Amino acid sequence: MQIVHGQPDGPVSLTKLCCHDVTGPSRRLNLRPLKVMKMSRSDPAFLSGAGEIPQDWDSLAAHLADQGMTLDTDVAPRQFSSGFGNLNYLISIDNHLRVLRRPPMGPVQPGSNDMGRESRILMRLWKAFPLAPRCYHFCDDPAILGAPCFIMEYRPGLVIGGTMPENSPADAGYGLGRMLTEQLATFHAIDPVKVELDTLGNPDGYLARTLKGWKKRGAAAWSGDIPSALTTLADWLDARLITDGQATLIHNDFKLDNVILDPETLAPLAVIDWDMGTRGDPRWDLAVMLGYWAEAGDPDAMLELNQMPTAGHGFPSREAIANYYTELSGIDMTGFHFIRVLAIFRAAVIFRQLYIRYMGGDTDDPRFAQFGKSASGLLDFAIDIANEKYF
């Protein structure tokens, strides 16, 4: 659990992010020596030491100056500790806190960590979905920071990861679980035409393409040492591929720590991490969310992910959430079992990819060291789900 709060000239502590208007009159580049913001270097919301990845801030400052903005160089950028993929930094532009977002260092998988796609979504989606933060500046020149990046609105609030905040009501999870489901159904009901996102992605054959892509990524992630569980799952999924449902906008990583909450009421303030957003089968979004939704009786591999605190605190079961989503959306859930297994297969491959990044030296974040074991355990869990041992 982390809290995001504060003002540009006061104490700040945050992990999750978002964006604000950074346009303004042109002014000379200010290259004053960097100072640390008024926050502790030991703040767990930020990385310090191992895992911290510096950026070329002088290059960014020069780029922003060309766009009529000033990077406040008397405020030292800080890297958020939350997340394992894209890199996010608290920065100050024209005396206002902003968030810089860019892909991870090193090579990225095709279709992932897409800053152009995410910025396009966030420049439009807010018109119909107020929880989507606004993005105002996208930089597609890799010469600036080595990869595309953009500047996002900052929305302060609470982000809950794998642990509930202290002194939370014993049944707080019930409301959070239903809120997540309600917001997902609300998002899926948005007409892409009304937000000028009707050309986003290619929804035709979405599930077949998703299966093909994750099989290919899985084979690459375990290159030279393909586990039997990977082959078993790939064969099971191939034999049970279903046709797509009616396409909607989808997020592709909708889960609790991608929602910023009001610290007092736990009401949602923002939904973030849209870099894999597209149009496709909305049931996929539900399955991805349930892929992080641990229950008390799950195997260790699922519980040790510690992605959402759903194994207690009154959170509804995965099956109850699926039923509630069906009630809210009216979407036909025939064939959801296939999608559910595919989502766990995907999670296993993702954690294996993160482990490969660690082994290849692209990150020294110690959290990544255990992800090889996590990936193998998730493959076994996916087989259990295929065999209907778990929902």
CATH superfamily, domain 172-386, is Aminoglycoside phosphotransferase (APH), C-terminal lobe (3.90.1200.10)
Q: What span, in angstroms and rounded, lies between the C-alpha atoms of 346 and 341?
A: 9
Ranges under pLDDT 50 in the chain: 1-40
Q: Give the gyration radius of the chain's Cα atoms.
A: 21
Position 32 scores a pLDDT of: 34
| 332 C-beta neighbours (distance < 10 Å), count | 11
Position 149 scores a pLDDT of: 96
Q: What span, in angstroms and rounded, lies between the C-alpha atoms of 219 and 168?
A: 42
Tokens matching residue 44: 């767990």
Position 366 scores a pLDDT of: 87
Position 84 scores a pLDDT of: 67
Position 35 scores a pLDDT of: 39
Position 8 scores a pLDDT of: 29
Please answer whether residues 98 and 258 qualify as being in contact, where contact means their C-beta atoms are separated by less than 8 angstroms. Answer: no
Please, which residues bridge with residue 2 across strands? 159
Q: Which residues contact 354 (CB under 8 A, 6 or more apart)?
A: 84, 368, 371
Position 269 scores a pLDDT of: 98
3-state SS class at 111: coil
Helices (H), the chain: 57-66, 115-122, 142-145, 172-188, 206-221, 228-239, 282-290, 300-303, 318-329, 336-359, 371-386
Please answer whether residues 303 and 294 qualify as being in contact, where contact means their C-beta atoms are separated by less than 8 angstroms. Answer: yes
Position 111 scores a pLDDT of: 67
Q: What is the DSSP letter of 18?
A: -
Tokens matching residue 265: 């009421």
Q: What span, in angstroms and rounded, lies between the C-alpha atoms of 260 and 266?
A: 9
Position 318 scores a pLDDT of: 98
Report the percent of the chain where pLDDT is more than 70: 88
The residue ranges of every structural domain in the chain are: 2-159, 172-386
Whole-model pTM? 0.83
